[in-house]
Amino acid sequence: MLLSTVIFLPLLGVVAIALLRGMGASAIKGIAMGVAVLTFLISLGLYTGFDATTTEMQFAESRAWIPQLGTRYDIGIDGISLWLVLLTTFLTPVCILAAWNSVEKGLSGFMMSLLALETGMLGVFCAMDLFLFFVFWESMLIPMYFLIGIWGGERRVYATIKFVLYTMAGSALMLVGILALYFQNGDNGFALLPLYERVGGFTHANLLFMAFFIAFAIKVPLFPFHTWLPDAHVEAPTVGSVILAGVLLKMGTYGIVRFCLPLFPEAAATYTPLIVTLAVVGIIYGALVAMVQPDLKKLVAYSSVSHLGFVVLGLFTQHHAGIQGGVLQMINHGLSTGALFLLVGMIYERRHSRMIVDFGGVAKSMPIFATVFMITTLSSIGLPGLNGFVGEFMILLGSFHSGAFSKVYVVLAATGVILAAVYMLWMFQRVMFGTPDKTNAALPDLNARELAVLLPVMLFIVWIGVYPKPFLNRMEKSVGVVVTKVRQEAAPAMGHTDFLDNLDDIERPTATDVQHQKEAERK
């Protein structure tokens, strides 16, 4: 029941707000915040009760739902979804607090959309039934559509329709894939776990893989499916951008780990060269485009394309450290990019501009803001000691050890780290340093509410950077399952030509090795 409570508590908040919408703004905000915080506190029970030694789905619930269609209400989490669930329950109250004073019209609708979105996202990460997954996946679109479309910027209508249509086009294909899997699942209906245990693969595995992968690639978004992202990010309200970057994009990468890799390992191996190429192109292209953006929000949006390219690269390494790094990087990106959008939103509220040329010398007028911005920027670049480094390092390590693709890709991907430093630090320099003009000199620094929004995020950014063990520990086993699947079944397609492969069999770096390596490096 714990998991169901976490998923549906926000929906209860939606109902409460709908019934009490006449009660005034502070009551609505209070209910929304209360529900979101309560959901987060309850979800901590998932963390404490999580058993890191098993590969089973935990907190699983299974109930009859629509027996005629062969679908059940099956939910559960493993070490991968645990973190995404916690990220979602963590970011939602942060977002509500961040939006405290910035919603002018339709406050109750805004909060209802946000909470409904939370239920949708949590459902996606917990569903263990393909039909249920699809229901959450699609229904989550509606609140996001309203969030961008009603509370967004000037071109919000264009952006929101583009976002919905891109996602729907992808999910249309996925629906066919889900149905095709259903008819290969015997009497198990839409249940996911029996599909995992199936031996011998599926007929039309390559087509099915692509049906799922394109849907997820649009969501990630992988180059060249990324064009909806800058529009959606720029037009979305601050909170919309945070949720979009923090959680929604992760639904794509989560889908890859949950469905594409373990269900169709051979097809994944077949398409790995193509996908990795796209990922590397995305890393470099996103970074280069981010470099020339005059608009802060667009810059962060394109940096997402680049960072998510890293995640996809890690997931397709067929290597433990790489996949684990990819999963960890999902969380990291959610935290650091989420924080960046929050910061951009805060300065936009003061200055009513996001253009980099309008700024300069902000560090003088807003020292606290500048400090937090610096930490976030460094985390996004991947400075050792902050979260981004751990993820990116593990991904690159995994890619080097991986026999799945040539090392040229890894070298190219690594340039993305350098490019990230270029565009982020250059942006930081232009915004923060120099002498402030009159308007910039008068900007007030962060207030207590804004600090309360940012500090929890900063805490996790440092925590994961310094001591990622609790995070890696809990995902270790679940990632192991995926790795075993991918390696065993993909082995023939890989070809053992690379000596590093054999080396790797003897000495596979685990999370703790990475830990040591990292600590040694710091000394």
Partner 1 sequence: MPIDINWQLLMPELVIASTLLLVLVFDMVDALSKTVLGWLTLVGTGIALWVSVAMRLDNTYGTTFGGMFAVDGFSLFFNIIFLVSTMLVSLISINYLRGNSAERGRERRQGPYYLLILLATLGMMLMAAGNELIVVFLGLELMSLSLYVLAGYFREHSVSSEAGMKYLLLGAFASAFFLYGIALLYGGTGTTSLPEIAAAVASGSSSPLLLAGMFLLIVGFGFKVAIVPFHQWAPDVYDGAPTTVAAFISAGPKAAGFAAFLRIFTETFQNLQPEWSGVVILLAMLTMTGGNILAIAQTNIKRMLAYSSIAHAGYVLIGVAAANQEGVSSAMLYLLVYCIMNIGAFTAVILARTSTGERLALSAYAGLGFRKPLLALFLTVMLLSLAGFPPTAGFVGKFYVFKSAVQAGHFWLVAIGAVNTAISAFYYLRVVVTMYMREPAGEVDVAPYPRTLLVGLVLAAIGVLLIGILPSLVLNSAQNSAL
Token digits of residue 294: 């005059």
Task: Identify residue 77 by its one-letter amino acid code.
Answer: I
Nearest residue to 313 via CA among 281, 276, 285, 278: 276
**Helices 387-401 & 367-381, crossing angle to 10 degrees?**
10
**Which one of residues 164, 372, 386, 472 is an interface residue with partner 1 (CB under 8 A)?**
164
Token digits of residue 187: 């009497």
- Please report, for residues 110, 273, 306, 311, 422, the alpha-carbon distance to residue 415 in angstroms, rounded to integers and kept in the order given: 40, 19, 11, 15, 11
Cα separation, 41 vs 20, in Å, equals 24
Q: Hey, which residues between 102 and 121 contact partner 1 (CB under 8 A)?
A: 105-106
**Which one of residues 33, 142, 412, 452 is an interface residue with partner 1 (CB under 8 A)?**
142
Q: How far is the CB of 173 from partner 1 (least distance, A)?
A: 7
**Which one of residues 46, 75, 99, 175 is an interface residue with partner 1 (CB under 8 A)?**
175
345 binds partner 1 (CB under 8 A): no
Q: Which stretch binds partner 1 (CB under 8 A): 93-101, 158-166, 311-319, 355-363?
A: 158-166
Mention every residue, 6+ apart, whose C-beta is less than 8 A from residue 219. Answer: 167, 170, 248, 249, 251, 252, 255
**Which one of residues 27, 135, 412, 466 is an interface residue with partner 1 (CB under 8 A)?**
135
Mention every residue, 6+ apart, whose C-beta is less than 8 A from residue 146. Answer: 109, 113
Q: How far is the CB of 112 from partner 1 (least distance, A)?
A: 11
Q: How far is the CB of 21 from partner 1 (least distance, A)?
A: 9
Task: Identify residue 267 by its one-letter amino acid code.
Answer: A
Q: How far is the CB of 198 from partner 1 (least distance, A)?
A: 18
Q: Which residue in the block uniquely carries the two structure tokens 């995404």?
A: 84
* Residue with Cβ nearer partner 1 (217 or 413): 217
134 binds partner 1 (CB under 8 A): yes
* Residue with Cβ nearer partner 1 (182 or 409): 182
Q: Which stretch binds partner 1 (CB under 8 A): 145-153, 292-300, 434-442, 447-455?
A: 145-153
156 binds partner 1 (CB under 8 A): yes
180 binds partner 1 (CB under 8 A): yes
125 binds partner 1 (CB under 8 A): no
**Which one of residues 157, 274, 442, 455 is an interface residue with partner 1 (CB under 8 A)?**
157
Strand partners, 220: none
Q: Hey, which residues between 44 and 73 contact partner 1 (CB under 8 A)?
A: 65-69
165 binds partner 1 (CB under 8 A): yes
Mention every residue, 6+ apart, whose C-beta is less than 8 A from residue 13. Answer: 31, 32, 34, 35, 36, 111, 115
209 binds partner 1 (CB under 8 A): no
* Residue with Cβ nearer partner 1 (15 or 165): 165
Q: Are 380 and 456 in contact (CB under 8 A)?
A: no
141 binds partner 1 (CB under 8 A): yes
100 binds partner 1 (CB under 8 A): no
Nearest residue to 318 via CA among 400, 417, 416, 203: 400
205 binds partner 1 (CB under 8 A): no
**Helices 387-401 & 407-432, crossing angle to 10 degrees?**
160
202 binds partner 1 (CB under 8 A): no
Q: Would you tell me how many other CB atoms lie within 10 Å of the CB of residue 379?
A: 29
Question: What are phi and psi for residue 482, nearest 5 degrees?
Answer: -65, -45
98 binds partner 1 (CB under 8 A): no
Angle at 49 between CA 333 and CA 477, to 5 degrees: 60
Binding site for partner 1 (CB under 8 A): 65-69, 105-106, 131, 134-136, 138-139, 141-142, 145-146, 149-150, 156-157, 160-161, 164-165, 168-169, 171-173, 175-176, 179-180, 182-183
